């Protein structure tokens, strides 16, 4: 019996064998084309990421999703790219969209924990990592991330144990080792001792010695106690200062404080102040965050009084850089003279130099230090300066600065200081 060459081709009513073959070839071609297209867009995204063209990579992913809205790999990439651009809430949405379909995706779970941590959603980040840990209990990436969140929450013993667990599975894990080092520095108190010297071209040099103890008792309460002694313009003064700060949310704080000094005319005999501050989350690749505060400070001298209204902004930039801007309006009154308002301000740029060394440069205009008699009244000045901080051991550092102030009437004040701090 002759065997037909088409015996293995299914026969469908109304369709010839050649038509069926053509249809099968077309389906195969479509699958190959789709696989090739998927490979192409991911390859292009990876190339763009390697050369830091995040916007270009995001455009490729967006086009892929426009063509294939249910490509979950593309949604994962979109979440990752948005997170790198600082658009954390949008990245979180993409990650959760993928997890609705694939709840056990370890990579997406860890990526989601990162954007939750950056948004200060610490409890949600920890829960996400707990879910990931149930799926993969010995993954060092999950363990080290979980330790980091525990440290932020102040659960130091648990964070230390988690870092140690990470090292059991990955003995060379640099993040875990750095985390353990940072926990050793996670202390409550800082004792700082300092010396400041002002050299004038119109009077004898002035000196200040200071000792302060700053304590962070828990996530909400912090205190500062300090004492300073002054030798200035032929007079001696001793001042005691205390302040208390209360963090009523993770981003809001309120500080109140006061100071008293012995009877003399070179520093205020009484001071009182309060401050309200708020930290802002900024989803921007150029700015990591902003701390903004408002302060009122009263100074009472013998024969003079000063009220300052002050606003301060600190921008946290990439690579550990910071930029500070401080603007002050001072209401000054002397015995026998009318009350007057004068503005002043300063700005400072901080930057890392080495692993243990940070530096800063600053510039000020007007009266900057109203806690000393020679810095109030009607005069203008320009101040230039810079400083360094060297952390030479765990929990110990030396900080120094030098500044030069040019005042009206040809007066010059060159100041420099050095302080030592230890945390315990």
Which of 27-31, 37-41, 222-226, 304-308 is modeled with the greatest confidence?
222-226
Token readout for 392 is 């030479």
Share of the chain above pLDDT 70, in %: 88
pLDDT at 353: 93
pLDDT at 14: 52
Where exactly are the structural domains of the chain?
18-184, 189-423
pLDDT at 393: 82
Does the structural domain 18-184 have CATH classification 1.10.3720.10? no
Does pLDDT of 27 surpass 50? no
Instruction: Give the pLDDT confidence of 194-205 residue by residue, as tens digits.
Output: 999 999 999 999
When mean pLDDT is compared across 83-92, 227-236, 370-379, the lowest value belongs to: 370-379
Does pLDDT of 261 surpass 90? yes
Q: What phi and psi, each to the nearest 5 degrees, are found at residue 73?
A: -65, -40
Does residue 268 sit in helix, strand or coil?
Answer: coil
Mean pLDDT of the chain: 87
CA pair distance 116, 130, nearest whole angstrom: 14
Mean pLDDT of 281-305: 87
Protein fold of 189-423 = Porin (2.40.160)
pLDDT at 39: 65
CA pair distance 252, 52, nearest whole angstrom: 35
Predicted confidence band at 155 (pLDDT cuts at 50, 70, 90)?
confident
- On the question of a common fold for 18-184 and 189-423, the answer reads no
CA pair distance 287, 322, nearest whole angstrom: 9
Mean pLDDT of 97-116: 94
Does pLDDT of 67 surpass 50? yes
Does pLDDT of 95 surpass 90? yes
């Amino acid at each position: 019996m002759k065997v037909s060459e088409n015996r293995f081709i299914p026969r469908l009513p109304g369709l010839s064998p050649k038509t069926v073959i053509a249809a099968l070839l077309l389906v195969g071609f479509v699958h190959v084309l789709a696989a090739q297209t998927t490979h192409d867009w991911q390859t292009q995204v990876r190339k763009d990421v390697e050369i830091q063209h995040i916007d270009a990579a995001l455009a490729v992913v967006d086009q892929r999703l426009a063509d294939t809205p249910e490509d979950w790999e593309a949604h994962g990439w979109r979440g990752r790219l948005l997170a790198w651009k600082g658009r954390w809430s949008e990245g979180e949405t993409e990650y959760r969209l993928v997890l609705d379909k694939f709840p056990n995706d370890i990579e997406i779970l860890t990526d989601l924990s990162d954007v939750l941590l950056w948004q200060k959603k610490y409890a949600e980040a920890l829960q996400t990592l707990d879910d990931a840990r149930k799926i993969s209990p010995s993954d060092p990436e999950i363990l080290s991330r979980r330790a980091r969140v525990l440290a932020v929450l102040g659960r130091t013993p648990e964070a230390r144990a988690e870092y140690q667990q990470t090292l059991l599975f990955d003995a060379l894990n640099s993040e875990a080792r750095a985390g353990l080092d940072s926990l050793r520095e996670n202390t409550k108190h800082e004792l700082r001792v300092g010396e400041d010297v002002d050299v004038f071209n119109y009077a004898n040099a002035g000196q200040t010695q200071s000792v302060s103890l700053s304590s962070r008792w828990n996530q909400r309460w912090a205190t500062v106690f300090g004492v300073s002694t002054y030798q200035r313009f032929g007079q001696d003064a001793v001042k005691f200062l205390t302040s208390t700060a209360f963090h009523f949310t993770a981003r809001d704080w309120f500080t109140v404080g006061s100071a008293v000094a012995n009877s003399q005319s070179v520093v205020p005999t009484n001071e009182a102040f309060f401050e309200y501050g708020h930290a802002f989350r900024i989803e921007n690749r150029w700015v990591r965050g902003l701390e903004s505060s408002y302060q009122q400070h009263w100074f009472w001298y013998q024969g003079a009084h000063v009220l300052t209204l002050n606003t301060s902004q600190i921008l946290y930039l990439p690579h550990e850089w910071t930029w500070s801007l401080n603007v002050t309006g001072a209401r000054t009154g002397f015995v026998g003279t009318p009350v007057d308002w004068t503005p002043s301000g300063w700005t400072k740029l901080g930057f890392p130099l080495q692993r243990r060394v940070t530096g800063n440069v600053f510039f000020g205009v007007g009266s900057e230090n109203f806690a000393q008699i020679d810095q109030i009244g009607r005069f203008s000045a320009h101040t230039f300066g810079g400083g360094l901080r060297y952390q030479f051991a765990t929990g110990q550092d030396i900080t120094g600065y030098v500044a030069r102030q040019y005042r009206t009437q040809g007066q010059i004040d060159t100041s420099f200081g050095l302080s030592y701090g230890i945390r315990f």
